[in-house]
C-alpha cells in the first residue's frame, strides 16, 4: 500500500458502497411501538453543561415555558381571588419539591384575578388573565405550540457572575463577577457582548424603579443555557433562538430584585400583550426583615471536601472525593447529588437520601411494596430486595453507616416497569438537576437503610450501565464518609 | 435536526417523533450496518435506538444536542447487538480467501474482502470511530463526544484502526492469505 492517504481513500470508498439499506420496515415497527411505550419522565430544564469551567444551569433555563427549581416560591391566590384571602408564607429556601411532573400538562389552571408569588424576600402581587397556568415555581402560557409559549418568574438567587460574551464557544466561556446592586448588574449586562440587546430602559415595576433589558440571541450564536450564574457558577437565564427574554432589575429600597420573562417569537400578539399586562400589574411588597437572597441557586457543583445537609430533620455530612479528572459531583437541592463523566447528557451516578416513612420524597413506589409505616430496617430491606423486576446482587447485609447500624443490599434493574415496585428512585420530578427520576433496566441500585435510634434514613445510590467502576466506587466512598450529627 | 420538532417530540408528540425518526432512520441503519457489518444486527440496533430515543427524549436536557445524543444511543445499541454477535460468532470459523478472485486480479474486490476481514477483527470501539469519522465525516471531537471518550482517545483509536486496516490491505498486496479452517 502506497500511503496512508491511499488507505484512507480506500476505506472511505469501501464504507460508502453498498448503501441500499431500507429503513422503512424498522420505521413502521418503531412507530407502531410508540403507543405502547410511554416516554420516561423528564427532569426538565436544569441543564448541566459539560463545560470546562464547571458551569451548571439553574432552573430558569432556555426551555422557557416552566420556570422550575426556583425554590421557595408560592403562587397564592390573594386579594379575594379564588381560594380566599392571601396566605402570606415565606417558604424556606429548601422547601420540599413541588409535586407533579413539570411542564404544561401538569400545570394547574390559574383562575383569572389577583395572585401572589411569595418569595422569602418579596411578595409579588400580579393580576392574571384567563387561560394561564402555573405551579409553585412560576407562571406561563403554553397555547399548544412550543413556539408560542411565554413565562414570567422572579429569580430567588443572587446573580454573582455574568457571561462576558454570550456568543463564545462553550470552551471559551468566561464570567465576570458582579456586585450586589442594581447598577452592578446593569453595568455587567450592558458590557455583555455577543447578544442582541435593547436597554437598559428606565421603567417602574411594581412601584419601584427598574432597568429593563430585552434580549435575543444573535442568529450566528449558539443556544445559551444561561446568561449569568450564581455564586456556585450555576447558570441562570437561558435563552434560545426564537425566544425574546426580558429582564427587569428592580431596586426595592436598595435591594436588587430580578424578574425575568420570556416570549417565544411565535407567541400571538394577544398573548404577548397579556404578558406585558401581567408585568404591568405587578406590585412588589418587601418582606420585613427578610433574609438576603441565597448566594446559590437550588443546585450546583460541590467543591471537593465536606458538605452538610439536613434532610427530613436528619442533619448529616458527607465528603466529595478528591478527584480531578472530571467535573465532580453536583447537588440538586437536598434531594440528591449526581455525577456524569462520559458525556454531555445525563448523570451516570446519583445518591438520593430521604427519611422514612414520613418523607415527602421517595413516593409512591415504596408504598406499592406494601411497606407498613412501622416497618423495621430489616423488614424494609427484605421487601425491597425482593422487588419485582430486579435481581438481587448483594445482601441484605448488616453494615455501619455513619456509626449507625444499617441494612445494605444491591440490586440490578432487569425490567422497565414504570412506577412499580423495583423503581426505588421515584422522587417527583420537581424540576431541575442532573439526575434521573426513575431507574431503568440495566441500572444498579445500592440501598442503605440506616437506623438512627429508631428513625430510619434511606440512602439510594444509583448508577447506569455506562458508569465506570471508579464512579461506582465513588458512591461507596461518599457513603463511607457520611456522619450523622 | 429541527429543534422545535425535537421539543415537540419531547413533549410526547408522536407525530413529531415520526418526522424525527423518518429523518434519521436511514442514516442510522447505514451507520449501524457499517459498524456491525451485519444487516440483521444493524436493523435490530437501529430499531432499538429509535425506540430508546423516543423513551428517553424527555430526558434530553438540550434539544440542540439531539444529533450527538441520538448517535450516542445508536452506538450503545450497536454495542449491545455487537455483544450478541460475539456470543455466537465465537463458534464460527473464518473461511479462506476466495483465491479465484485474486487470480482474476480483481484487486478492488480483494480490497473489499480484506477490508471486511480487517474490519471484523477490529473491536467495536475502533469500528465505531472509523465509521463515525470516515463515513459520517464527523470531526474527532464530535466522535469523542458521541462515544463518551476523550478526543485523544478517539485519535488513538482511529490511528490504531487505520493501521490495522492498512496491514490487512498490505498483506493482500504481498500474497493472498489463506486462513486454515
Q: Mean pLDDT for each consecutive 10-residue tract of chain A (485 residues)?
A: 70 75 82 67 30 29 26 30 21 24 50 80 86 72 70 81 83 79 95 94 95 91 76 70 90 90 87 93 85 56 73 85 58 70 61 74 56 80 80 91 93 67 47 51 88 88 82 90 91
Task: Give the distance from residue B180's alpha carbon to the nearest chain A alpha carbon, in angstroms.
Answer: 25
Helix (H) or strand (E) holding B100: helix B99-103
Q: What contacts A150, CB < 8 A, 6 or more positions away?
A: A140, A141, A261, A262, A263, A264, A267, A271, A272, A274, A275
**CA–CA gap between residue B53 and residue B50 (Å, rounded):** 5
Is the previous residue joined to A396 through a cis bond, with omega within 30 degrees of 0? yes
C-alpha cell at B92: 464460527
Q: At what angle do helices B151-174 and A4-16 cross, to 10 degrees?
A: 90
Cis bond upstream, residue A434 (ω within 30): no
CB A72 within 8 A of CB A91: yes
Distance from CA of B59 to the nearest CA of A (A): 5
Inter-chain touch A40–B59, beta carbons under 8 Å? yes
**What pLDDT score does B66 carry?**
87
Q: Which residues, given as ranges, of chain B have pLDDT below 70?
A: 59, 61, 83-111, 171-181
Residue B53 near residue B77 (C-beta atoms within 8 A): no
Q: Which residues of chain A are within 8 Å of residue B112 when distances are taken between CB atoms?
A: 14, 17
Question: With an 8 Å Cβ cutoff, is A441 touching chain B?
Answer: no
Which of B21, B146, B148 is closest, CB to CB, to A27? Answer: B21
| Nearest in space to A86 (alpha carbons), one of A97, A96, A78, A74 | A78
User: What element of type H or E holds A293?
Assistant: none
Q: For residue A17, which residues of chain B lie inside 8 Å, CB to CB?
A: 112
- Suggest the residue from A18, A39, A223, A326 to mutate for an interface test with chain B (most B CBs closer than 10 A): A39
Residue A27: the pLDDT is 85
Half-sphere exposure of A481 (CA within 13 A, CB side): 16
Which residues from chain A sit within 8 angstroms of residue B39, using beta carbons?
A: 21
Tell me if residue A306 falls in helix, strand or coil: strand
Distance from the A436 Cα atom to the nearest Cα atom in chain B, whole angstroms: 8
Which residues fall within 8 angstroms of residue A335, CB to CB, at 6 or more apart? A97, A352, A353, A361, A427, A430, A433, A435
CB-based burial of residue A206 (10 Å sphere; 0-12 exposed, 13-18 middle, 19+ buried)? Answer: buried
**Min Cα–Cα distance to chain A from B123, Å:** 16
Report pLDDT for A439: 67
Q: Are B68 and A342 in contact (CB < 8 Å)? A: no
Q: Which of A234, A401, A400, A233 is nearest to A317 (CA)?
A: A401
The pLDDT assigned to B106 comes to 37
d(C-alpha A26, C-alpha A30), whole Å:
6
- Who's near B123: CB < 8 A, 6+ residues apart? none
Instruction: Report the Cα A21 to chain-centroid distance in Å.
Output: 41
Contact in structure between A472 and A321 (CB atoms under 8 Å) = no
- Chosen for mutation from B27, B62, B143 (greatest number of chain A CBs closer than 10 Å) is B62
Amino acid at each position: 500500500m502506497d500511503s496512508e492517504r491511499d488507505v484512507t481513500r480506500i476505506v472511505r470508498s469501501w464504507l460508502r458502497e453498498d448503501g441500499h439499506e431500507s429503513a422503512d420496515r424498522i420505521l413502521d415497527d418503531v412507530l407502531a411501538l410508540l403507543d405502547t411505550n410511554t416516554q420516561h419522565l423528564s427532569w426538565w430544564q436544569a441543564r448541566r453543561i459539560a463545560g470546562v469551567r464547571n458551569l451548571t444551569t439553574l432552573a430558569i433555563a432556555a426551555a422557557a415555558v416552566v420556570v422550575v427549581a426556583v425554590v421557595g416560591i408560592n403562587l397564592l391566590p390573594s386579594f379575594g381571588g379564588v381560594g380566599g384571602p392571601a396566605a402570606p408564607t415565606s417558604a424556606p429556601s429548601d422547601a420540599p419539591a413541588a409535586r407533579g411532573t413539570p411542564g404544561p400538562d401538569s400545570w394547574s389552571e390559574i383562575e383569572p384575578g389577583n395572585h401572589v408569588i411569595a418569595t422569602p424576600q418579596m411578595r409579588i402581587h400580579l393580576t392574571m388573565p384567563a387561560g394561564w397556568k402555573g405551579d409553585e415555581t412560576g407562571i406561563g402560557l403554553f397555547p399548544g405550540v412550543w413556539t408560542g409559549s411565554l413565562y414570567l418568574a422572579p429569580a430567588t438567587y443572587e446573580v454573582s457572575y455574568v457571561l462576558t460574551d454570550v456568543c463564545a464557544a462553550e470552551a471559551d466561556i468566561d464570567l465576570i463577577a458582579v456586585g450586589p446592586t442594581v447598577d452592578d448588574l446593569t453595568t455587567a449586562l450592558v458590557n455583555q457582548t455577543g447578544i442582541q440587546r435593547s436597554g437598559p430602559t428606565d421603567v417602574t415595576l411594581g412601584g419601584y424603579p427598574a432597568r429593563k433589558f430585552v434580549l435575543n440571541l444573535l442568529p450566528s450564536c449558539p443556544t445559551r443555557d444561561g446568561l449569568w450564574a450564581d455564586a456556585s457558577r450555576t447558570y441562570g437565564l437561558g435563552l434560545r433562538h426564537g425566544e425574546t427574554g426580558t429582564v427587569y432589575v428592580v431596586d426595592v429600597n436598595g435591594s436588587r430584585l430580578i424578574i425575568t420573562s420570556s416570549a417565544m417569537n411565535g407567541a400571538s400578539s394577544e398573548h404577548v400583550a397579556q404578558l406585558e399586562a401581567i408585568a404591568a400589574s405587578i406590585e412588589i411588597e418587601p418582606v420585613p426583615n427578610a433574609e438576603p437572597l441565597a448566594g446559590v441557586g437550588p443546585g450546583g457543583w460541590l467543591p471537593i471536601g465536606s458538605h452538610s445537609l439536613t434532610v427530613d430533620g436528619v442533619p448529616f455530612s458527607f465528603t466529595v472525593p478528591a478527584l480531578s479528572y472530571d467535573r465532580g459531583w453536583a447537588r440538586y437541592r437536598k434531594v440528591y447529588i449526581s455525577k456524569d463523566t462520559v458525556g454531555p447528557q445525563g448523570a451516570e451516578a446519583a445518591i438520593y437520601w430521604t427519611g422514612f416513612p414520613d418523607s415527602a420524597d421517595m413516593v409512591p413506589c415504596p408504598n406499592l411494596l406494601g411497606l407498613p409505616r412501622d416497618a423495621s430496617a430489616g423488614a424494609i430491606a427484605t421487601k425491597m430486595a425482593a422487588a419485582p423486576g430486579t435481581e438481587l446482587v448483594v445482601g441484605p447485609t448488616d453494615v455501619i453507616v455513619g456509626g449507625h447500624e444499617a441494612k445494605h443490599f444491591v440490586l440490578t434493574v432487569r425490567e422497565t416497569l414504570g412506577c412499580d415496585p423495583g423503581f426505588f428512585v421515584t422522587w417527583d420530578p420537581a424540576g431541575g438537576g442532573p439526575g434521573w427520576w426513575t431507574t431503568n433496566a440495566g441500572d444498579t441500585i445500592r440501598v442503605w437503610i440506616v437506623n438512627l435510634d429508631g428513625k430510619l434514613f434511606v440512602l439510594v445510590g444509583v448508577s447506569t450501565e455506562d458508569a465506570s467502576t471508579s464512579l461506582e466506587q465513588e458512591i461507596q466512598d461518599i457513603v463511607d464518609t457520611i456522619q450523622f450529627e | 435536526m429541527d429543534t422545535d420538532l425535537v421539543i415537540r417530540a419531547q413533549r410526547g408528540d408522536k407525530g413529531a417523533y415520526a418526522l424525527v425518526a423518518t429523518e434519521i432512520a436511514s442514516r442510522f441503519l447505514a451507520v449501524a450496518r457499517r459498524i456491525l457489518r451485519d444487516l440483521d444486527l444493524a436493523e435490530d440496533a437501529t430499531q432499538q435506538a429509535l425506540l430508546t430515543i423516543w423513551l428517553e427524549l424527555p430526558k434530553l436536557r438540550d434539544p440542540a444536542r439531539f444529533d450527538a445524543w441520538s448517535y450516542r444511543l445508536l452506538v450503545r445499541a450497536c454495542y449491545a447487538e455487537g455483544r450478541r454477535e460475539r456470543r455466537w460468532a465465537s463458534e464460527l470459523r473464518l473461511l479462506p480467501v476466495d483465491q479465484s478472485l485474486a487470480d482474476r486480479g480483481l484487486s478492488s474486490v480483494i480490497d473489499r474482502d480484506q477490508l471486511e476481514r480487517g474490519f471484523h477483527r477490529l473491536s467495536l470501539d475502533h469500528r465505531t470511530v472509523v465509521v463515525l469519522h470516515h463515513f459520517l465525516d464527523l470531526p474527532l471531537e464530535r466522535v469523542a463526544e458521541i462515544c463518551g471518550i476523550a478526543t485523544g482517545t478517539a485519535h488513538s483509536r482511529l490511528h490504531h484502526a487505520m493501521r490495522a486496516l492498512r496491514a490487512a490491505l498490505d498483506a493482500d498486496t504481498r500474497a493472498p492469505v489463506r486462513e486454515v479452517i
